[in-house]
């Protein structure tokens, strides 16, 4: 199936016999198209989007009522897909995979204009330049302006510009913060914290990312005989993590960090630790082990 055929099926709400897809990104600008398609597919199938890191997270028990559409994001894909699952990758040998094209600024501007009819086209064109091809974030912010009625959108946009909120736009992500914590890179941590209110870093989401990353590091660093197969990754991924992510914490410190991250959700739910303090708490505790 090609992207044209998929688009036609989505427009007709017709996915009969189809509940799994492999999308191949041309580059990171493809993310906006993929996000739109995944959202549409989940709506047609009546399933909730759920991002996973391994297909083993999908339950095989047929007696379990599962209303999730699982989304796995990876670099290279070789394995066979499962039902109610979407694979997003950069390359694959799957002949049925759907290649998603790249985008340019003018295409995304044309897509945004109907959403914010009250905004001047020149303002939209000027704004998109601040996002450095991060079109998904651009549209997310456009959607926030679109909530206001058409007559107010231009005023809202200029108020945001006046308050300097668009000046805080950054390409830093939750992965940058996680990597900085792993490598004790305080400079990057500070830079992320400066714009934390303007980027997609959700406290419990960060806790999960940190847990998964430190779990892998702990498995590799504390066991000299462990192999890439043992931790479920490619030889290349294993080499990169072992060379560049291990050694920043001692084995004893890794054990303490894993204990902290294992109990972080409990601390949030059953203690007086507010969500607004969770990120600062994790950073201070991890760096201070």
7-52 per-position pLDDT tens digit: 999 999 988 888 889 999 999 899 999 999 999 999 999 999 888 8
By residue count, the chain amounts to: 289
**Same domain, yes or no, for 155 and 229?**
no
Structure tokens of 220?
């590799």
Average pLDDT of the chain? 86
Lowest mean pLDDT among 61-70, 79-88, 114-123, 240-249: 61-70
Give the number of domains in the chain.
Answer: 3
Of 175, 28, 18, residue with least CA distance to 89: 28
**Same domain, yes or no, for 15 and 74?**
yes
Of 100, 127, 148, which one is at a domain's C-terminal end? 100
**Same domain, yes or no, for 88 and 17?**
yes
Say which residue, 194 or 86, is predicted with more confidence.
86
pLDDT digits (tens, 9 = 90+) for 227-280: 988 888 788 888 888 988 999 999 999 999 999 998 887 777 776 677 778 889
Domain that includes residue 134, residue range: 105-168
Can you tell me which residue has the tokens 């072992």?
242
The pTM of the whole model exceeds 0.75:
no
Say which residue, 270 or 2, is predicted with more confidence.
2
Contacts of residues 176-179 at CB distance under 8 Å and 24 or more positions apart, as own/partner, are 177/201, 177/206, 178/206, 178/209, 178/210, 178/213, 179/245
Query: Average of pLDDT values for 113-130?
Result: 91
Q: Is the pLDDT of residue 141 over 70?
A: yes
């Amino acid at each position: 199936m090609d992207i044209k055929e998929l688009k036609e099926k989505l427009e007709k709400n017709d996915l009969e016999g189809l509940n799994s897809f492999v999308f191949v990104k041309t580059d990171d600008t493809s993310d906006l198209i993929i996000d739109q398609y995944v959202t549409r597919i989940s709506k047609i199938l009546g399933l909730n989007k759920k991002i996973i890191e391994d297909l083993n997270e999908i339950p095989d028990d047929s007696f379990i009522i599962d209303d999730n559409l699982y989304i796995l994001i990876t670099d290279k894909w070789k394995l066979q897909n499962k039902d109610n699952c979407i694979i997003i990758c950069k390359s694959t040998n799957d002949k049925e995979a759907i290649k998603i094209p790249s985008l340019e600024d003018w295409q995304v501007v044309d897509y945004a204009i109907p959403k914010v009819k009250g905004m001047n086209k020149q303002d939209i064109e000027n704004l998109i330049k601040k996002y450095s091809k991060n079109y998904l974030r651009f549209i997310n912010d456009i959607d926030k302006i679109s909530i206001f009625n058409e007559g107010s959108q231009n005023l809202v946009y200029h108020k945001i510009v006046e308050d300097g909120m668009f000046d805080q736009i950054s390409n830093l992500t939750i992965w940058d913060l996680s990597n900085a914590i792993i490598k004790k890179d305080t400079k990057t941590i500070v830079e992320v914290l400066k714009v934390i209110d303007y980027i997609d870093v959700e406290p419990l989401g960060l806790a999960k990312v940190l847990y998964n990353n430190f779990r892998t590091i702990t498995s590799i660093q504390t066991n000299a005989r462990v192999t890439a197969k043992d931790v479920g990754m490619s030889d290349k991924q294993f080499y990169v993590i072992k060379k560049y992510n291990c050694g920043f914490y001692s084995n004893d410190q890794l054990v303490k960090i894993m204990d902290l991250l294992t109990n972080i959700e409990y601390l949030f739910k059953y203690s007086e630790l507010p969500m607004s303090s969770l990120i600062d708490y994790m950073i201070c505790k991890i760096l201070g082990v």
